[in-house]
Amino acid sequence: MKKRLYIFVLLIILGCFLAYQNKDQLLTYFSNQDWKQAEVTGTTTLSNHFAIDGTSSNLIVVGNNYLHGFSNNGEENFDLNVSLKNAVTSATGDYCIIGEKDGTKVYMINSNAKIWEMDIQGTILDVSVNKNGYSAIIYKQVGYKSLIKVVKPDGTELFTTYLASTYALDAEISNDNKILAVAEINTEGIKVGSIIELINMSDLEKKNSSKFALEDGTLVTNIEYNSKNKLLIQTDSGIQIVDNNELKMFVEDFDDGTKFVTIENESSPVVISKVENGLFETSYVLKIFDYKENDVSYEEYQIDDSPSIIASKDNKIAMLIEKELIIVNLNGKLLKKYDVSGNIKSIIIFNNGNSLAVVYRDKIEFMKI
């Protein structure tokens, strides 16, 4: 026993000696946070494309008559021939729906396979899919301002709702597949009006729905269901939430200092604002909001400048600030940094928030978060 203790003490002394001898390198290592530098796990070339989106298992690149799926290290998982001239996409979980923007074709991808395709009798405007594979397709047709077709995971139509007096800006299906939420714009009055309609999908025969009219002049810009199955509503002036079938304020009063807003992650709205610290001194702060039983709280992360690109999905936030890519989690904790070489076009978070794709003009770099 004494011999083991003696060896243990010697190891500690040796470790302290080595640490002292290399103190400058250790101080540099931790002060520069080299351990947080992201590494590229793979690279692939990129030709002309319409859209890029990410699922749990693939980064999906949509181009002129092709769909390519890549793993988190840049290896090609699938290559599909499709008929597309432009594209809108939506990805949740391991599903990705691709619609031909201003066209008629729709494709659904699950994992590495196309599971259904459809021709729409109209012109496609937007698409969305929930984590279970239920999807909503917004399109236009003569006689209606908007139509929304809801499709089950196997590709069969569940129902279509027709809007004669309002335009559908966005449509989302709840995580339990029970509610279709539609963000509508009414342009027939003196002022533009925004309406949120919730359609009960579990009992279509009764045609049950409820509507929430936003304040006059408020323009809805996006809606999303979060991981708690509550509907978030982003407008040009703030963020609201539907809680227990009531419309409540979540984030109030965007102003001139508000630079970025997104509700597109699993739970938390993200707002980046400019802060005036004095006559000639400014800073920027990222706020990550949380809502629990009428109580709103937030985490903060200080940043040096306003990002030129931001991506928010699953449980991660990625920001490009000058030539540095910064990734934080929804608790405001720094996870990774990456020094950028070249002009980034977009950032895509995929693989359940564990991987990131940096998209340049002619290539994609894959990183592990």
The 3-class SS string of 141-200 reads ECCEEEEEEEECCCCCEEEEEEECCCEEEEEEECCCCCEEEEEEEECCCCCCEEEEEEEE
Which pLDDT belongs to residue 16? 59
How far is Cα 240 from Cα 249, in angstroms, rounded to an integer? 4
Q: Which of 192, 122, 63 is nearest to 137 (CA)?
A: 122
Asked whether residue 26 carries a pLDDT value surpassing 50, the answer given is no
Q: Is residue 173 part of a domain?
A: no
Strand partners, 248: 241
Asked whether residue 21 carries a pLDDT value surpassing 80, the answer given is no
CB 91 within 8 A of CB 127: no
Q: Which residues contact 178 (CB under 8 A, 6 or more apart)?
A: 200, 201, 202
Q: Is residue 335 part of a domain?
A: yes
* Model confidence pLDDT, tens digit, residues 166-220: 999 999 999 999 999 999 999 887 788 999 999 999 888 777 889 999 988 899 9
Whose structure tokens read 């405007």?
A: 125
Which pLDDT belongs to residue 252? 86
CB 226 within 8 A of CB 288: no
Q: Is residue 359 part of a domain?
A: yes
Q: How many domains does the chain have?
A: 1
* Model confidence pLDDT, tens digit, residues 100-152: 999 999 999 999 999 999 999 999 999 999 999 999 999 999 999 999 999 99
* Model confidence pLDDT, tens digit, residues 46-68: 988 999 999 999 999 999 999 99
Amino acid at 344: I
* CA angle centred on 228, ends 227 and 233, rounded to 5°: 85
Q: Is residue 364 part of a domain?
A: yes
How far is Cα 146 from Cα 186, in angstroms, rounded to an integer? 12
The boundaries of the domain holding residue 288 are 255-369
Mean pLDDT of the chain: 90
User: Could you give the 3-state DSSP secondary structure of residue 253?
Assistant: coil
Amino acid at 79: D
* Model confidence pLDDT, tens digit, residues 78-101: 999 999 999 999 999 999 999 999
Q: Which of 292, 235, 299, 306 is nearest to 270 (CA)?
A: 299
How far is Cα 23 from Cα 308, in angstroms, rounded to an integer? 37
Q: Locate 126 and state its tokens.
A: 């937007």
CB 82 within 8 A of CB 113: no
Computed on alpha carbons and rounded to an integer, the radius of gyration of the chain in Å comes to: 24
pLDDT confidence bin for 28, thresholds 50/70/90: very low
Q: Give a three-class secondary structure readout of 291-360.
A: EECCEEEEEEEEECCCCCEEEEECCEEEEEECCEEEEEECCCCEEEEEECCCCCCEEEEECCCCEEEEEC
* Model confidence pLDDT, tens digit, residues 195-208: 999 999 988 877 78
Which pLDDT belongs to residue 362? 94
Q: Is residue 338 part of a domain?
A: yes
> Mean pLDDT throughout 254-278?
90
Q: Is residue 208 part of a domain?
A: no
Instruction: State if pTM tops 0.85.
Output: yes
Which pLDDT belongs to residue 9? 52
Q: Is residue 78 part of a domain?
A: no
Whose structure tokens read 């597309």?
A: 84
Q: Is residue 354 part of a domain?
A: yes
DSSP 215: P
* Model confidence pLDDT, tens digit, residues 316-354: 999 999 999 999 999 999 999 999 888 999 999 999 999
Which pLDDT belongs to residue 74? 96
Q: Which of 137, 223, 129 is nearest to 185 (CA)?
A: 223
Q: Which residues contact 333 (CB under 8 A, 6 or more apart)?
A: none
| CATH number of domain containing 326 | 2.130.10.10
CB 137 within 8 A of CB 151: yes
Asked whether residue 29 carries a pLDDT value surpassing 50, the answer given is no
